[in-house]
Amino acid sequence: MIDKIKEHIAEVEKFTTESKEAVESFRIKYLGKKGLLNDFFAEFKNVPNEQKKEFGQTINKLKKTAEEKVNTLKSALDNTTAETGIYGDLTRPGEATNIGARHPISIVKNQIIDIFSRIGFNVSEGPEIEDDWHNFTALNLPEYHPARDMQDTFFVQTNPDILLRTHTSSVQVRYMENNKPPIRTISPGRVYRNEAISARSHCFFHQIEGLYIDKNVSFADLKQTLQFFTTELFGKSKIRLRPSYFPFTEPSAEVDVYWGLETEADYRITKGTGWLEIGGCGMVDPNVLKNCGIDAEEYSGFAFGVGIDRIAMLLYQITDIRLLSENDVRFLEQFKSAL
């Protein structure tokens, strides 16, 4: 009988499982009310007196070994269950990552930057909170100049010399002050105007302005650059330049691209003319070059500017400019497939 108990001790020591049900069955087999241990204890009265001590010690060893085995297996299985609860089933298939959407302003801005980078333009940036010199005076708009009224400005009340920039031309001034010709740069960024907010206008919007300064730069160079830009961005190569006025360029022009009259939307967008205004341009005024420390006798150049918001609205048929700044997820999700 003692040998039989020792065999069970060896069996208990070897037992292992990863199932809670198997552990419970094992416990009932040895430690339950009708388990083997109770059977062995019942046999104690039939054991000869000289074997009772050894028999009792062996039974106790079996009991202790079985209890330790049950506790060890239960503890191991409880830890495994806790890890599964934290990390989930590590064998299950992975879930697809929810990819965010690009903002239409970012899409169009990156497209424009890519187009001009192909013809040698770099990107320059500057502060949105600007001083009067860089935003107005250096651009041939001295104090009390009537053309300042063309741009309704947000001034900082505590310091009338500080304002929110009304155009990214201020970046071009800073670039000319710190770099010698030849200069070929574009300046994208957010600008601010004190205007009423509606479906067609906002108090802040995005511009991208270009500047090219070198020897013997002509208006023909400007037109060719704009021709390349409109062809690459819109796929439309027909443009026209209408005489206009900007204080920092002379001569100046508005840039129109022929959009066409193929659909009802074309008639609505172009007001039935087929032509669409996309920005302004002109030859840099010599006074601007002088203000930035560039010899106007040796160098000349051109500048141009387009509204990123306006172009985005055209390309994606967006009818309300406010949608571009309201961060409506339903609106932004439409641009997930855009590059």
Examine the pLDDT at 111 and tell me if it is beyond 60: yes
Give ∠ CA 48-53-56 in degrees, rounded to 5.
100
* H helix runs in 32-162, sequence order: 36-42, 49-87, 104-117, 132-135
pLDDT digits (tens, 9 = 90+) for 46-73: 777 777 778 778 878 878 888 888 888 8
Contact (CB, 8 A) for 164 and 128: yes
Backbone dihedral angles phi then psi of residue 331, each to the nearest 5 degrees = -75, -45
Question: What is the C-alpha separation between 282 and 294, in angstroms, rounded?
Answer: 18
Instruction: Look at residue 116 in the predicted model and tell me its pLDDT.
Output: 96
Contact (CB, 8 A) for 150 and 171: no
Instruction: Look at residue 80 in the predicted model and tell me its pLDDT.
Output: 66
Contact (CB, 8 A) for 303 and 284: yes
pTM over 0.85: no
Sketch the domain layout of the chain as residue ranges: 2-87, 104-335
250 is in an annotated binding site: yes
Instruction: Look at residue 76 in the predicted model and tell me its pLDDT.
Output: 82
Contact (CB, 8 A) for 188 and 200: no
Amino acid at 92: R
Which residues are within 8 A (CB) of 18 and not within 5 positions of it... i.e. 6 or more apart? 77, 80
pLDDT digits (tens, 9 = 90+) for 140-192: 887 777 767 767 888 887 787 899 999 999 999 999 999 999 999 999 999 99
3-state secondary structure of 253: strand
Q: Under CATH, which number does the domain 104-335 receive?
A: 3.30.930.10
CA separation, residue 323 to residues 66, 272, 335 (Å): 71, 25, 13
